[in-house]
């Protein structure tokens, strides 16, 4: 009787579509706002994350992503510090690399799997003022938090291969006194492949 209960519990626990782990990777479109340094949205981003469903609907995992946002300024005379100035055009660039832990809840474990996810971790950021002949930069670390909503679609039977689309908001505590940055707010969407 006990052996039959163990076998039944194991078969119920394994009744989900695909494996108990996931790996998602792809392209990320990111917009940074609420700062006066670089305001443009950009498609220069990528992400990788993976996790394990320790319950049929709840997974814990790890993530890393990369974003860069650029803003162009037309030709003018810019102060580059030390009593020097240069007449040229200029770019402001923000590079962000957040990484850390995830907690995901999926609403179904069929072929279509809508989910919500929370991410928490650290973020390395570097800001540049790029001129045609020189550049200034600063870098710092910050605390990172991000909620995300998305869906993965697994069209093939007995395969974990699928597609993912998600939207997110993130906040990081990165600060740069030199460039007037007091925290980094981002929002965007992701398109990728789920394994």
Instruction: Report pLDDT digits (tens) over 110-157.
Output: 889 999 999 999 999 999 888 777 778 899 999 999 999 999 999 988
Identify the pLDDT of residue 18.
55
- According to CATH, the topology of domain 2-194 is Porin (2.40.160)
Q: Where are the domains of the chain?
A: 2-194
Identify the pLDDT of residue 63.
98
Closest CA to 120 of 142, 143, 97, 94: 143
Question: Looking only at Cα atoms, what is the longest distance across the chain?
Answer: 86
* Residue 5 DSSP label: H
Name the β-bridge partners of 125.
96, 140
Q: What are phi and psi of 172, to 5 degrees?
A: -130, 145
Q: Which residue ranges in the chain fall short of pLDDT 50?
A: 1-16
């Amino acid at each position: 009787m006990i052996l039959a209960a163990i076998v039944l519990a194991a078969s119920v626990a394994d009744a989900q579509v695909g494996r108990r782990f996931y790996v998602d990777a792809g392209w990320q479109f990111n917009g940074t706002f609420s700062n006066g340094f670089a305001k443009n949205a950009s498609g220069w981003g990528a992400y990788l994350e993976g996790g394990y469903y320790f319950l049929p609907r709840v997974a814990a995992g790890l993530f890393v992503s990369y974003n860069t946002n650029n803003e162009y300024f037309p030709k003018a005379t810019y102060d580059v510090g030390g009593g020097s100035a240069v007449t040229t055009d200029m770019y402001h660039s923000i590079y962000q690399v957040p990484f850390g832990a995830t907690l995901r809840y999926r609403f179904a474990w069929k072929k279509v799997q809508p989910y919500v996810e929370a991410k928490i971790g650290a973020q390395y950021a570097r800001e540049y003022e790029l001129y045609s002949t020189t550049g200034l930069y600063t870098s710092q670390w910050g605390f990172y938090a991000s909620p995300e909503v998305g869906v993965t679609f697994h069209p093939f039977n007995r395969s974990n291969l699928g597609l993912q689309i998600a939207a997110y908001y993130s906040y990081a505590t990165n600060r740069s006194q030199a460039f007037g940055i007091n925290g980094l707010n981002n929002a965007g969407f992701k398109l990728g492949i789920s394994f």
